[in-house]
Amino acid sequence: MNELNRMFFIESMNFEIEKNIKFEEMKLKAIFGEGGKNGE
């Protein structure tokens, strides 16, 4: 049971991190525009 809980916990942590990264990317795109600062 413990192993399953740990797996679930890691999964949800990864999901939170993914969400935060996506959110940060969206903020950066909103600030700098789609291409970023350098228009790449």
**Cα dihedral: 24, 26, 27, 33 (round 10):** 130
Region label for 4, one of left (φ > 0), alpha (ψ between -120 and 50) or beta (otherwise):
alpha
| C-alpha–C-alpha distance, residues 3 and 20, integer Å | 26
1-40: pLDDT as tens digits: 699 999 999 999 999 999 999 999 999 999 988 665 555 4
Quick one: pLDDT at residue 33? 83
Q: Is the pTM of this model over 0.75?
A: no
Residues 30, 7: Cα–Cα separation, whole Å: 35
